[in-house]
Structure 1
Amino acid sequence: MRLVVAGSPLAAVPTLTALAASEHEIVRVITRPATPQGRKRVLTPTPVADEARRLGLPVLEARRLGEVEPALLPLEVDLGVIVAYGALVREPLLSWPRLGWINLHFSLLPRWRGAAPVQHAVIAGDAQTGATVFQLTEGLDEGDWYARLTTPIGAHRTAGSLLDELSRSGADLVRSVVDDLASGTAIAQAQIGEVTLAPKLGRDDAELRWNEPAEAVHARLRGVTPEPGAFTHSSDQAIKVLEAAIARDAAPLPPGAVRRAGGRVLVGTGTVPLELLHVQPAGKQAMGAADWARGLPGDRDPVFS
């Protein structure tokens, strides 16, 4: 089939690579425009743009798909494939490909419809998550689904590591569905179950709440890692918390209270403490929590708020 592929971040690259290696033809790749990155604000293409150019595929950059309608509508295309493009597909482009569009979504739909499904699944303490390939419709992630896979979340995985795994296994799932659509053997099923929403996370979502149980604090930390990144406050300064573990062997502490004990840095929660492993104080490089604690002034331990 003749395909158009839309995507932007690193999570979309495995699908583009897999489809480029298939018997199908990618006639256009659509991605978001290059953006300034880093301290020097260097204009940087999306990972999908880089991969498409490496593969020698024609690329269109657009903040919204409507911007490239004139370039797309004259093309004869059998199927659109979208993975984390970052914008909605509206008419007339929605019904422009002969078979419409399919979407790779990183959740077990209808659970966690929206922009940040993996992050919300981890924060909520879900036992498992997965990926779903479904038919794109005008509604938010509402279309019938063709295929899905599941994976356990576990007690230690971060949203970043799960998304990396799902992007690679999901690419094989997409390729299988595209093959089935080409052969006419694909079967779509209606989404069944409770609908939950996964809006984009903001800074407020990333602030750790020490009065919650240790499992909930740890789940939030893992769910916002690496983006937008967990943080807390000490003496009105923000501290990024990069890694921590539940310290079930430690005595309870008041929520937010920090204790240095035997080379460990413990923080109280609503239940047992968390042990800080890696942090990044404001304006400094990431470091081990014990190194950060050694640099604290005086003998008084701080309190996180």
Structure 2
Amino acid sequence: MPSLQLVFAGSPAAAVPSLDALVASGHRIVAVVTREDSPQGRRGILTPTPVADAAERHGIPVIKANRLAGEATELITALGADLGVIVAYGGLVREPLLSAPEHGWINLHFSLLPRWRGAAPVQHAIIAGDEVTGAAVFQLVPELDAGDVFGTLSQPIAQFQTAGHLLEALSQSGAALLTRVVDQIADGTARAEPQTGDVTLAPKLTLPDGKLDFSLEAASIAARVRGVTPEPGAFTELDGARLKILDARIARDAPRLAPGQLALHGKAVHIGTASEPLELVTVHPAGRKAMNAGDWWRGRPADAATQVTA
């Protein structure tokens, strides 16, 4: 099989399996493009992206840029790569860079396109209650996630699976799909088909997307908890402080509670919704460590609030 010279663009941990798989495939990665080091942790220590760390481990030159423009475009174009590969880089590829490699750019996207085009496809699939999602490798075009598709894979969404767990699984299976498509482009057998079906959008989630609305039904709230875990995180407000909810399950056949009302049911902490209550399993109170919800409840003062703030 012919070997291609690749430039790989990616940033988070979800892109590392793809980089590792392409290194093992025999194709030559001439450079890795990733976002610049960013402050991490309470001390704000400048930290390389997981992809930057992986590239260093493989001995691959790294170009750090938050935008693929100007000097970054010049550096990447000068590499003369046959194909650009992008996996969750966190920025757009525009002309003239889009057309610089002989075969253009391909993108591994974690959804079954055209459903959930955008930055947060896994999170939106879970929040929407989808039963199945997947990954797609497509030809990058100027329009967002709209290019012809070379290959897909499908994966059921498990009942209690969070966005973090699902993305980790898709990053592994997607890496194999991506490598297969690169091999097909190299040997001339790759065929891309136009996207078909209804387009839905998956914009990046921000902190307000994690605030829970207990006037909704339990299934919808539980799906949002899983969809925003680990980022941006699910939360409500109680006693004037933010209470993060790390894990919650529908409490089947439990007594109904008013929306947002907290109560102890046996050893379990329940909170009311528009339907059956949710059981809070793990919470993270402000200024404390994450803990079992029952332990948190039993440690609260007797006169503590039992109704969250809308």
Whether these two folds match at TM > 0.5 is yes
Distance, in Å, in 2 between the alignment partners of 1:203 and 1:53 is 32
Does the CA contact (< 8 Å) of 1:119 and 1:223 recur in 2?
Answer: yes
Aligned residue type for 1:65 = L
1:108 aligns with one of 99, 112, 127: 112
RMSD, aligned α-carbons: 0.9
- Once the two structures are superposed, residues 1-46 of structure 1 have per-residue CA deviations (whole angstroms, 9 ceiling, x without a partner) of 0000000000000000000111210001000011111111111000
Instruction: Identify the residue that residue 267 of structure 2 maps to in structure 1.
Output: 263
Q: TM-score, normalised by structure 2?
A: 0.97
Q: Say yes or no: does 1:251 pair with 2:255.
A: yes
Q: Any stretches of 5+ residues in structure 1 without a counterpart?
A: none
1:163 aligns with one of 167, 178, 188: 167
1:74 aligns with one of 78, 86, 95: 78
Distance, in Å, in 2 between the alignment partners of 1:126 and 1:166 is 15
- Once the two structures are superposed, residues 137-156 of structure 1 have per-residue CA deviations (whole angstroms, 9 ceiling, x without a partner) of 00000000000111111321
2:65 aligns with one of 57, 62, 65: 62
Q: How many residues are paired up? A: 305
The 3-state SS of whatever aligns with 2:155 is strand
The 3-state SS of whatever aligns with 2:153 is strand
Q: TM-score, normalised by structure 1?
A: 0.98
Aligned pairs (5 A) from 1:85-104: 85-104=89-108
Q: Any stretches of 5+ residues in structure 2 without a counterpart?
A: none
Instruction: Identify the residue that residue 291 of structure 1 maps to in structure 2.
Output: 295
1:49 aligns with one of 4, 27, 52: 52
Aligned residue type for 2:190 = A
Following superposition, the deviation at residue 54 of structure 1 comes to 0.3
Following superposition, the deviation at residue 59 of structure 1 comes to 0.6
Q: Say yes or no: does 1:9 pair with 2:20.
A: no
Does the CA contact (< 8 Å) of 1:243 and 1:279 recur in 2?
Answer: yes
Instruction: Identify the residue that residue 40 of structure 1 maps to in structure 2.
Output: 43
Aligned pairs (5 A) from 1:125-204: 125-204=129-208
Aligned residue type for 1:153 = I
The 3-state SS of whatever aligns with 1:256 is coil
Q: 1:296 to 1:75 in 2, by over 3 A?
A: same
The 3-state SS of whatever aligns with 2:75 is helix
- Once superposed, which parts of structure 1, at least 4 consecutive aligned residues long, lie more than 6 Å away? none
Does the CA contact (< 8 Å) of 1:215 and 1:246 recur in 2?
Answer: yes
Instruction: Identify the residue that residue 28 of structure 1 maps to in structure 2.
Output: 31
What is the identity percentage for the equivalent residue pairs of Structure 1 and Structure 2?
A: 58
The 3-state SS of whatever aligns with 2:78 is coil
